[in-house]
Amino acid sequence: MTGFAALLEAIGDGVPDTAQYRQMADMVLDVPGAAALARLDPFSPAYREAALALYLSLRGRPEQGYEPGRDEPPARPPPDDPWTGLVPWSFRDASMASEHLFAYGHVLRHLGIPPGGSVLEYGPGSGQILLTLSRLGYRACGVDIDKAALGSITQQAHHLGLAVETERAGFGDGFDGQRFDAILFYEAFHHAFDFETLLIRLHDRLRPGGRLVLCGEPVVRAPTRAIPYPWGPRLDALSVFCIRRYGWMELGFTHDYLVALARTTGWRARLHRFAPAHRASLYVLEPITSRPIVPTLRAPVSWRLRTPLRASAHALAEMRRTLRRSSAQV
């Protein structure tokens, strides 16, 4: 915690610069009680309660609970110059900006929308993807609870002569329940604590043949020190900083859990990796049926049984590869 405390003192009331951002992203904090979460069934109400309690312990003010309208404020006021003051340009770092530009391109490649089709983006942030979609002739719609962010997007669109529609609402809401050819979350889905209900609701927001794209989400192949459980608050210093400073919900997921979650809420999930920049890796979710699986029929096999078996299978496969390499060298 000493290094984290020193970083907090250096940042003060400001926001992390690029060097501090990277330093905190690589730093993992030891949080009491985190290990207990990994022993619970991640689909159970007890797990959900424990995950929320862990978030509240990191944020402070546990008696207030979590309310997205209050606890997801902007990090800072809109910049005077949106062309240089918004993400990714505000990083003033070519390498950092490239990660976002890679991600934008990967999203465009996998949206799967017809010419002139429609996209609904939740949590569009600085609006760079929406502006690009509008330039390409798509109907670009954005929903956010941050009024200032929406205003900045509208300002940019007006200056460029583009049609970008925005509406202030929460995840799953907005635009009077209209259906779209694609729905996008870019670095936004992990802010949804009630993500299971959200995934069920999103079935009603897609047109037939549509898809849901999750990009830039903190998903790991297997539990790590920063995400030591199937899902829950991330424990890297950058995430904890955002939880404490702003109150943001900063969740992380394992790949196996996210795929199982998608299946139990009626989606088929496919991962598309992007090796040059992990931020650009994305999941494409397509409806399995018109109705999600009935909650009482979910997870017929115990998660606590299935996960160790999968880990053992991976370990056995690695052992076999090692033996083959050894044999080849003899």
pLDDT tens column, 261-271:
999 999 999 99
The predicted structure's pLDDT at residue 18: 79
For 164, the token pair is: 């970008």
Domain 2-299 sits in CATH at 3.40.50.150
pLDDT, tens digit, 9 for 90 and up, residues 40-59: 999 999 999 999 999 999 99
Higher pLDDT, 159 or 306: 159
> pLDDT-derived band of residue 304, with 50, 70 and 90 as boundaries?
very low
pLDDT, tens digit, 9 for 90 and up, residues 174-197: 999 999 999 999 999 999 999 999
Residue-averaged pLDDT of the chain = 88
The predicted structure's pLDDT at residue 316: 43
C-beta neighbour count of 33 within 10 angstroms: 10
Answer for the pair 17, 223: CB distance below 8 angstroms, yes or no: no
**% of the chain exceeding 90 in pLDDT:** 70
* Of the candidate ranges 146-150, 214-218, 299-303, 305-309, the one whose mean pLDDT is the lowest: 299-303
Q: Which of 131, 162, 130, 167 is nearest to 147 (CA)?
A: 167
> pLDDT-derived band of residue 20, with 50, 70 and 90 as boundaries?
confident
* Of the candidate ranges 212-221, 254-263, 281-290, 321-330, the one whose mean pLDDT is the lowest: 321-330
Over residues 12-37, mean pLDDT: 84
Domain residue extents for the chain:
2-299
For 257, the token pair is: 């859990």
- N-term to C-term CA, the chain: 48
Element (H, E) at 308: helix 303-329
Give burial (CB, 10 Å; 0-12/13-18/19+) of 106.
Answer: buried
Higher pLDDT, 28 or 119: 119
Over residues 92-121, mean pLDDT: 96
The predicted structure's pLDDT at residue 308: 46
The predicted structure's pLDDT at residue 291: 52
Higher pLDDT, 329 or 261: 261
Answer for the pair 217, 253: CB distance below 8 angstroms, yes or no: yes
CA angle 272, 196, 300 (to 5 degrees): 90
